[in-house]
């Protein structure tokens, strides 16, 4: 009986540590007025920046983290755009993933086989549902010209906008 308590405690601790991207759900992504989240990497594969994609223009990529930083195209070798979560209701998927192992108790002696399988499947589903997102890799999956489609200002930064006036407080956090 103690083993079952430990298994349930393990599942609860694992699910409570799941993080989420601050990106919209798929059904809300077309209404989102913010840019996609982008992680930028240099030639060595080291992450040199992360934040909201503000604009991609004039051979520069503008990213808002605490303030707007402009990265030259020569510095940006690869990037990962985080577009939206993979589900409109990740909480429901996580809940069902956590409850799935409990159905093993109805299997009687078959529980010895079904419980480990249900634990493996349930935990992996719950973790992936709450921490996954639709991503696009730059430049392998999206061209430089199309990168700006996912920016807050896809046609470039308007002349009446001062980059220092932008803040990173949005409704997704």
**pLDDT at position 21:** 46
**pLDDT at position 17:** 46
Q: Per-residue pLDDT averaged across 130-138, rounded? A: 74
Residue-wise pLDDT for 141-166, tens only, equals 888 788 888 888 888 888 887 877 77
**pLDDT at position 89:** 64
* Listed residue (77, 94, 76) closest to 85, CA to CA: 94
- Check whether domain 29-84+137-152 has CATH 3.40.50, yes or no: no
Residue-wise pLDDT for 75-97, tens only, equals 777 888 887 666 556 677 777 77
To the nearest whole number, what is the mean pLDDT of the chain?
A: 75
Report the distance separating Cα 28 and Cα 48, nearest Å: 29
Band (pLDDT 50/70/90 cuts) for residue 173 is very low
Residue-wise pLDDT for 34-74, tens only, equals 778 888 898 888 898 888 888 888 888 889 888 888 888 88
Distance from chain centroid for Cα 76: 20
Band (pLDDT 50/70/90 cuts) for residue 140 is confident
**pLDDT at position 126:** 72
Q: Per-residue pLDDT averaged across 1-18, rounded? A: 61
Look at 133 and 72; give whichever has higher pLDDT. Answer: 72
* Listed residue (24, 35, 11) closest to 125, CA to CA: 11
**pLDDT at position 150:** 85
Contact 56, 149 (CB under 8 A): no
Dihedral of alpha carbons 47, 48, 51, 57, sign: negative
Name 83's Cβ contacts closer than 8 Å, sequence gap at least 6: 23, 29, 36, 133, 134, 135, 136, 150
H or E element that contains 96: helix 90-99
**Lowest mean pLDDT, pick from 64-68, 96-100, 102-106, 129-133:** 129-133
Cα separations in angstroms, 1 against 4, 7, 106, 142:
5, 10, 15, 53
Whether 115 shows a pLDDT value over 60: the answer reads yes
Report the distance separating Cα 74 and Cα 60, nearest Å: 9
């Amino acid at each position: 009986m103690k083993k079952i308590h430990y298994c349930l405690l393990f599942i609860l601790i694992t699910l409570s540590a799941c993080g989420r991207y601050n990106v919209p759900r798929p059904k809300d992504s077309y209404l989102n007025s913010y840019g996609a989240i982008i992680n930028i990497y240099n030639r060595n594969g080291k992450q040199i920046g992360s934040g909201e994609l503000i604009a991609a223009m004039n051979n520069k990529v503008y990213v808002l983290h605490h303030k707007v930083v402009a990265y030259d195209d020569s510095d940006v070798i690869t990037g990962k755009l985080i577009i939206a979560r993979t589900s409109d209701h990740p909480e429901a998927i996580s809940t069902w993933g956590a409850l799935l192992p409990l159905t093993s108790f109805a299997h009687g002696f078959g529980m010895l086989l079904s419980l480990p399988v249900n634990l493996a499947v349930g935990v992996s589903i719950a973790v992936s549902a709450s921490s996954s997102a639709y991503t696009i890799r730059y430049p392998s999956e999206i061209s430089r010209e199309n990168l700006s489609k996912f920016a807050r200002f896809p046609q470039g930064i308007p002349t009446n906008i001062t980059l220092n006036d932008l803040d990173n407080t949005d409704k997704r956090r």
